[in-house]
Chain A
Amino acid sequence: MDPIRSVYEDDPDMMEIIEEFAEELPGRATAITEYIEQNDWPNVQTLAHQLKGAGGGYGFPQITEAAAALEQAVKDDSDTTLIKERAGTLCEILRAVTVTESS
Chain B
Amino acid sequence: MNPEVPKANRVLVIDDSESIHKLVAARLKAEGLEVKGEVDGERGVERAVAESPDLILLDVGLGDVDGFEVCKKLKEEPETRNIPVIFLTGATGTEDKVRGLDLGAVDYVTKPFDQIELRARVRAALRTKRLQDMLEQQSFLDGLTGLWNRKYLDRRIESELTVARRYNRPLSLVMCDIDRFKILNDTYGHLFGDIVLQGVSETLRGSARRSDIVTRYGGEEFAILLTDTALGAGAFVAQRLRSSVDARHFDANAEHVSVSVSLGIACTHDLGAEISTENLIEAADRALYASKDAGRNCVHMNKAGDISLVDPDIGPDIFQEKRR
Q: Which residues on the A side are within 8 Å of B30 (C-beta)?
A: 13
Q: Which residues on the B side are within 8 Å of A64 (C-beta)?
A: 112
Also in contact, A56 and B63, with CB within 8 A (given A13-B30, A20-B22): no
A53, B26: Cβ atoms closer than 8 Å: no
Q: How far is the CB of B102 from chain A (nearest CB, A)?
A: 23
Closest B residue to A63 by beta carbon equals B112
Interface with A: B13-21, B122-130, B279-287, B295-303, which one? Answer: B13-21
| Interface 0/1 of A1-38, CB less than 8 Å to B | 00000000000011001001100100000000000000
A57, B111: Cβ atoms closer than 8 Å: yes
Also in contact, A53 and B20, with CB within 8 A (given A46-B63, A64-B112): yes
Also in contact, A13 and B29, with CB within 8 A (given A50-B17, A53-B111, A57-B113): yes
Interface residues of B (CB under 8 A from A): 15-17, 19-20, 22-23, 26-27, 29-30, 59, 61, 63, 88, 90, 111-113, 115
A–B pairs, 22, beta carbons within 8 Å: A14-B26, A17-B22, A20-B22, A21-B19, A24-B19, A46-B63, A49-B61, A53-B17, A53-B20, A53-B88, A54-B19, A54-B20, A54-B111, A54-B112, A56-B111, A56-B112, A57-B23, A57-B113, A57-B115, A58-B23, A61-B112, A64-B112
Interface residues of A (CB under 8 A from B): 13-14, 17, 20-21, 24, 46, 49-50, 52-58, 61, 64
